């Protein structure tokens, strides 16, 4: 178990990782990796699918480095996208290694992002690409994420789930590109890179050849591009306790509604329909019995806070900045949750 002396360096090293690769035996690889992760004392979640690997793991530095090296070797991924962070306390309670049909759920396991994804664009070159009037810029994230912030001029597909993106492209996206009257250039982006990487593979499978995507996603852009030069507007929703971040990956102004798990802006919290820990203007008229339970939970949270103790389901200290690359709730559907792998 990782440990550190008082006032020493953080004990837990964290890595969010994904990579598209052809995995011929997901079950066998899952069993192999689960044993290695357990032996190394790692916690977190790792997903294995025929299209690649995806997850967030935490432990000591040497154990984490060993598993990352093994992932690169056993999957044969051309590139593993890794984001690291550190924490003083354990960010996960247990280890889960699972086999899934897709590492990011689009409902299209037939796609081949490992070999058919679009062209990466570095954050420093992104502004020039999306400022070109011949470029169609598409946000591949969900509607509640886009509402928190997006790039200037980007198309919002208004999809509640990544599963809905293929239907949007067939219903509206294809016609949008056809309006250009010639082969369109498409630039796509998402939180950390994984969804737009798969979305570019979808467009290429549909005959769109000139497709680009932002390397490392919005998080990489916000971390590396100076705010004075930025074309980003608003904040970036993230699936952890920070809720949203701004330039420099500083925590933003949004909080999470504990009733519907949706982000709430400062303006939304001023609404008379907002009740902290219970509901917001999106969910105020839902199941009264459930809201009564939320109200009781919030009361217990407040009692615990006055006593200086931690209540289950409440975080009394500032959240650790876990570097989740690009996430969806389990299965790619439903409402956002906190601290999940990149699925």
The tokens describing 158, both together, are: 């208004």
338: left (phi over 0), alpha (psi -120 to 50) or beta: beta
The DSSP 8-state label assigned to residue 184 in this structure reads P
**Helix locations, 110-212, DSSP H:** 113-116, 123-131, 143-146, 165-168, 174-178, 194-205
Residues present in the chain in total: 343
Rounded CA separation 243/249 (Å): 11
Q: Which residues are catalytic?
A: 190
The tokens describing 275, both together, are: 């009740």
Q: How far apart are the first and last CA of the chain?
A: 27
Question: What element of type H or E holds 75?
Answer: helix 61-75
Question: What element of type H or E holds 303?
Answer: helix 288-307
Rounded CA separation 43/37 (Å): 8
Starting at the earlier edge strand, list the strands of the sheet with 43-49: 81-87, 12-20, 52-59, 43-49, 95-99
């Amino acid at each position: 178990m990782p440990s550190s002396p008082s006032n020493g360096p953080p004990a837990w090293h964290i890595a969010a990782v994904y990579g598209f690769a052809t995995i011929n035996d997901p079950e066998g690889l899952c069993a192999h990796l689960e044993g290695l992760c357990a032996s190394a004392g790692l916690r977190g979640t790792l997903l294995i699918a025929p299209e690649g690997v995806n997850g967030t793991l935490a432990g000591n530095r040497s154990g984490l480095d060993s598993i990352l090296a093994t992932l690169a070797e056993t999957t044969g991924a051309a590139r593993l996208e890794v984001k690291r962070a550190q924490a003083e306390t354990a960010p996960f309670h247990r280890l889960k290694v699972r086999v899934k049909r897709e590492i990011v759920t689009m409902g299209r396991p037939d796609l081949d992002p490992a070999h058919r994804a679009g062209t990466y664009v570095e954050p420093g070159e992104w502004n020039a690409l999306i400022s070109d009037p011949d470029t169609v810029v598409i946000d591949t994230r969900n509607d509640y994420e886009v509402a928190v912030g997006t790039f200037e001029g980007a198309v919002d597909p208004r999809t509640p789930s990544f599963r809905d993106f293929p239907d949007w492209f067939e219903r509206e996206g294809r016609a949008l590109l056809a309006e250009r009257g010639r082969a369109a250039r498409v630039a796509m982006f998402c939180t950390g890179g994984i969804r737009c990487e798969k979305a570019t593979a979808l467009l290429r499978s549909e005959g769109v050849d000139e497709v680009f995507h932002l390397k490392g996603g919005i998080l990489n852009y916000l971390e590396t591009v100076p705010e004075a030069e930025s074309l980003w507007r608003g904040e970036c929703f993230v699936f952890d306790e920070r809720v949203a971040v701004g330039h420099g990956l500083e925590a933003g102004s949004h909080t999470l509604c504990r009733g519907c798990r949706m982000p709430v802006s400062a303006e939304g919290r001023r609404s008379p329909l907002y009740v902290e820990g219970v509901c917001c203007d999106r969910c105020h008229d839902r199941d009264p019995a459930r809201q009564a339970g939320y109200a009781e939970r919030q009361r217990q949270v407040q009692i615990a806070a006055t006593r200086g103790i931690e209540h289950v389901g409440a975080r009394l200290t500032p959240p650790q900045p876990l570097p989740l690359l690009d996430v969806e709730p389990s299965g790619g559907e439903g409402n956002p949750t906190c601290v999940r792998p990149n699925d």
